[in-house]
Chain A
Amino acid sequence: MSISVLIVDDSKLARIVIGKAVAALQPDWRRIEASNASEAIALVRAGGIDLAILDFNMPGHNGLDLAEMIRADHPDMPLALATANVQDELIARARTIGAAFIAKPVTEEAIKGFLSGAALKLRGARG
């Protein structure tokens, strides 16, 4: 079964850039996009999402709020926050939630660690 990654960002360009980096590193993964937290929550609830990459600064709920909402139902889902905003409070909150940090602008290099870690974890979970 193929792995599905959810990419949440209010910027279409950012979704293209993240999608491109994911496609280069994990060409077999299915990429699903959402432009805000509500769309993302609906997609996650519908099922079939294995991991998610979340923008921080979005209209409505921000990426950390969204990560908390996803985490409540999916304690083991690999989550990453994509942002150039590396303030201590955000890092601390992300750590508490168990979400990784990916520096924006997102590059293959920046996203590599998170994706390979997630791949290992998911492979392990699926036995």
Chain B
Amino acid sequence: MSDTAIPLDDLEHDALTELVNIGVSRAASSLRKMVGDQVLLSVPSVEVVSRATATTLIGQRESELLVAVRQDFDGAFSGRALLIFPEANSLELVRAVAGAAMTAAEAREIEDEALSETGNIVLNGCLATMANMLREPLHMSLPQVVRGSGRQFFEQTALAGDEGVVLFLYINFAISGRDIRGYIAMLMDLPSLETLRGLIREFINRVTGDGPGHAE
């Protein structure tokens, strides 16, 4: 078996996508309460790709400067979660969560704090829902606001090996009636993915009530 073998079968991939979908849907409901406008979500994409491809996927979509709230998580599985949007949307998002009457200067002053709190609620909400469904606690690092290109967000991770294959989760979001859009992205390394796969199998067996062999 090579390291690049697709480590998830169809039903496992389906289950992971559904877990992410439920996690992100709940997170969007929380974000909606903060901004007061509907949060629109895409269908999540879950792929096993090389780390280089994952960074390119983010980088290619955006030529402009990006801002991201980043949280690393560890536990039974570990990785990095990011809430990413164009830097140009940043102040608009701050106004959306902190109050429309705010001047640009006032918004700028609380920008990082507001962004990290927003990121914390979205990313924690998403990961906590997934952790609960998989019945394994996850420890989340404090949110960190970073600026730069997509490439930079995935570099200098605590994840082992830059050459390896990663699990890359990706969802687009936009806020209705406002000029705010972005992505939620998650990256997990391969050892984590193996553990995650075990948990996903347990989850599938639990919810379907099947025995260990769920072949269909």
User: Are B32 and A84 closer than 8 Å at their CB atoms?
Assistant: no
Is there a chain B Cβ closer than 8 Å to A57's Cβ? Answer: yes
Is there a chain A Cβ closer than 8 Å to B207's Cβ? Answer: yes
Binding site of A, secondary structure by majority: helix, strand, loop or mixed? loop
Is there a chain B Cβ closer than 8 Å to A87's Cβ? Answer: yes
Is there a chain A Cβ closer than 8 Å to B142's Cβ? Answer: no
Is there a chain A Cβ closer than 8 Å to B209's Cβ? Answer: yes
CA distance A59 to B43 in the complex (A): 6
Name the CB-closest residue of A to B133.
A105
Within 8 A of B (CB), among A1-55: 10-14, 16-17, 20
Is there a chain B Cβ closer than 8 Å to A116's Cβ? Answer: no
Which residues of A lie under 8 Å from residue B204 when comparing CB positions?
13
A13-B208, A17-B207, A20-B208 as given contacts; A87 in contact with B28, CB under 8 Å = yes
| Most chain B CB inside 10 Å of its own CB: which residue of A57, A83, A105 | A57
User: Are A11 and B17 closer than 8 Å at their CB atoms?
Assistant: yes
User: Are B133 and A10 closer than 8 Å at their CB atoms?
Assistant: no
| Most chain A CB inside 10 Å of its own CB: which residue of B38, B133, B204 | B38
8 nearest A-B residue pairs (beta carbon): A85-B25, A84-B25, A89-B38, A11-B18, A87-B32, A84-B22, A13-B15, A84-B26
Residues of chain A touching chain B, judged by Cβ–Cβ distance below 8 Å, are: 10-14, 16-17, 20, 56-59, 83-90, 104-105
Query: What are 14 A-B residue pairs whose CB atoms fall within 8 Å in the complex?
Result: A11-B17, A12-B10, A13-B204, A13-B207, A17-B208, A57-B25, A83-B25, A85-B28, A87-B39, A88-B32, A88-B38, A104-B22, A105-B22, A105-B207
